[in-house]
Each structure stands twice: as structure tokens, then as C-alpha cells.
Structure 1
Amino acid sequence: MDQVITPELLLRAYAAGVFPMAESATDPTLHWVDPRRRGILPLDGFHISRSLRREILRGGYDIRANTAFEAVVAGCADRDSTWINDRIFALYLALHQRGFAHSLEMWEEGRLVGGVYGVALGQAFFAESMFSRRRSASKIVLAWLMHRLRAGGFILCDTQFLTPHLATLGGIEIPRAAYQDRLQTALQGQAEFAPPLYQPSCGAIISSPSSGSGISSI
């Protein structure tokens, strides 16, 4: 595929269940991907191990939303092998500027140590990539992301593919047809990545999804 991809076209592609990738950071060509089996993180099935629970409760970090989107994408691209080329970078930055792409960041002593970014449409969140610069940072950020998505009314978290890392956190694969059913349902509703009054505590993050939305002033 070698065509002009606009932010508007990219949003339509997500709504149809496909997404773009590059072969490498230096390959300018993009291609559309529609996996036969789709990776998702069930919002009510995120697994927090005992060690991750301790890491979350230990604190000493800040979780912020949308304060360093460009830096998060750069962190995700800063690896030996990546599908994030300059065109991908520019497209998601444009979506962020339009309010459709978001980042969740982990900060320690003023330093960005981990993060995840993705696209929100309706009640679906498409998690694109994440990075970690200290032990367990990506797991901690994902735990906070799952809580935020539940609190904001999302019903689908798409991870595109299932990796061994995501499988340990409760990620699963579903057939393309089942994913399409979930996606079309999610697109009919509306969710908020930054719900009003959303200020969860570390304790709320490790609580059961059935315990409530976690919207709190604590």
C-alpha cells in the first residue's frame, strides 16, 4: 500500500477493524493489517499478580494522561525493531491533536519511565504500543489504563495481537468475526478517556472491576 493516508481515513480504517503498519522505521511504505485472530484485553479480566500489586501499591510514581503524547510515541519507537516510521508518527500525532489519540504516562522524579498510547472511538480503545524504562513500568501503566477505561465507559480494549507479555496480564485472542461484533457494538456508544472527577488511588487500581467505577477524590 502506497497511498496518502489522512487522519480521517485512519479513523475510518479503525472503525472497519483494520490498522496500518510499516515494515521498519526506515521503510516509508505502510500496509493495512486485519488479523485473522485479534488480541484484546478484557476490561473485566485484567490479571494483577501479587508482585504487580506490590509494585502498584509501593507508589513513588505519577500517572498522567496526555501530557507527553509525542514523547510516549517516541519511547515506543525507540527499539531495535519497530513498525513506527515517520508517517505513522505524524498520523498519530495528528489524531492526538484532534482528540482521538491519547497517552497514559508513568513519571518518576520528573522522568518519563513508561507509557502507552492508543486511539479512542466510541467505546473502543485501540492500544497501539507501550514502552518501559524501568522494571514493571509497562505493567503498571496497563493496570492504570484498564481502570481508566472502565471508569470512562469503554467496553473494548483492542491490542491487535496477543504477545506472551499481554497473555500474562489476561490478554486473549478472538476470531476476526467475534472481534467485528464487539467492535461494532462499541462504536455505537460513547466513552471518555478523561472522565470528570477521575482521580483514582493506588488501592482503587488493584480493586476488582466489580467494585465500582473508581471515580474518587482520593
Structure 2
Amino acid sequence: MDYDVLAIIEGYAQGYFLMATEDESLQWYSSSDRTLIPLDARFRYPKSLQRVLNSDKFTVAINRDFKAVVKGCANRENTWISKELQEIYWALYLNGWAYSFETWLGDELAGGILGIAIGGMFIGESMFYRIPDGSKVAMVKLVEKLRSRSFVLFDAQMMNPHLERFGAYQVADLEYQRLLKQSLQRQCGLI
């Protein structure tokens, strides 16, 4: 199926995000309180993770196996990543908008984060792990990468306990729109 990639990117650039409903139809969503991952000193992670990071147990890659990351993110009992949304992510990937930030243990995919990069904004769509700490290491390394590329915003959309451990916080829509506008004025690039 052909998708209007630019119309989809325009939706994300206005602060909306796509999710599949129970009947697998796609809907645009927004939230009055948006969850952000800090790209400054507020970012934190469990101290036990520092040993894993110091061990260089995992290697990090971008887009080494995009489809496997999408599949890993969708592989849960209740998923909002329908088959159609997986196809949309693939179309966005082919057009240079969607990325998978991955951790590897040798030749085995350990975990990853699926997201969309627009200007100076990274929209984290989902994350998963197959090997303990795989997604946590991906999060730390992704934040380091976004900082090094001068990204303004890491939008995680909705809060959950896992994200709170990394210092995720919520902002009201007015602040989100200000940061969104600022991020769209940049061209940061992940690769």
C-alpha cells in the first residue's frame, strides 16, 4: 500500500501520533500532558545500569535491522502497532524519517527503540528488549546521541513507570508546543 509520507510527517510535526485501535483502524492522537525524556542533567538511569554500560557488553547500531525492531516493539499481547502501522513505519524508514536505535549482543538483537526524527525532535514510538538491559542501554545511548546532535526534544508521548526511572517528565500542551516549534527549526539528523 502507498502512504502519503509527507502528510504523516506533517501530523507528527503538529504534535499528533498514530495508534491502532482495538479493531486495528488507525487514529491520530494527542495529549494535553506530554511525556518527555530529558536531554539535560535531569536524565538519569539506575546505578546498576552503569556497570552494564562500563562493561561494553552491548554494541549499538542505528537501522541495522529496522524491521526486527518494529516487530519486537509490536510483539506483545496488547499492541497498538498494527500490521498497517508497521507498514507505515517501513515507508517512513525508506524515506529517511523513521529509525531504529538498537543494542546487540554479538549477532543477537538485544533490544531497541523505534522512533521518528523530524528536525530537532525525536519521537519515541516504542521500545522492547530480548536480553535484560537491552532497551535500557539503548535509551542511554540514544540520549547521548541526541545530545551530541543538538536535538531539542525527545517526545515519549505517554508516561509509564519504566520511563520515569530515566527522569521522564510531563509538560502541559503550551510548553510542548513551544518546544515543538523550537525543535522544528533545527536540522539535527541522527546519522
TM-score normalised per structure 2:
0.95
Q: Deviations over 1:47-79 (max 9, x none)?
A: 033201111112222111111111100000011
Distance in 1 of aligned mates of 2:155 and 2:106 = 31
Structure 1: segments with no counterpart, 5+ residues: 195-218
Deviation at 1:126, TM superposition (A): 0.4
Specify the alignment match of 1:142 in structure 2. 139
Answer with 49-58 or 122-131: which moved more. 49-58
Deviation at 1:178, TM superposition (A): 0.9
Matched, 1:60 2:57: yes
Specify the alignment match of 2:26 in structure 1. 30
Specify the alignment match of 1:200 in structure 2. none
Deviation at 1:23, TM superposition (A): 2.1
Distance in 2 of aligned mates of 1:158 and 1:70 = 22
Specify the alignment match of 2:177 in structure 1. 180
Specify the alignment match of 2:9 in structure 1. 11
Report if the CA contact (8 A) 1:153-1:190 is conserved. no
Secondary structure of 2:189's partner?
coil
Structure 2: segments with no counterpart, 5+ residues: none
Specify the alignment match of 1:124 in structure 2. 121
TM-score normalised per structure 1:
0.84
Deviation at 1:8, TM superposition (A): 1.5
Q: Which residue identity is paired with 2:18?
A: P
Distance in 1 of aligned mates of 2:28 and 2:3 = 11
Deviation at 1:137, TM superposition (A): 1.4
State which structure, 1 or 2, has the greater radius of gyration over its C-alpha atoms. Answer: 1
Distance in 1 of aligned mates of 2:55 and 2:30 = 39
Report if the CA contact (8 A) 2:3-2:91 is conserved. no
Q: Which residue identity is paired with 1:12?
A: E
Aligned residues, how many?
Answer: 189
| Deviant stretches of 4+, over 3 Å | none
Distance in 1 of aligned mates of 2:155 and 2:99 = 14
Aligned sequence identity (%): 36
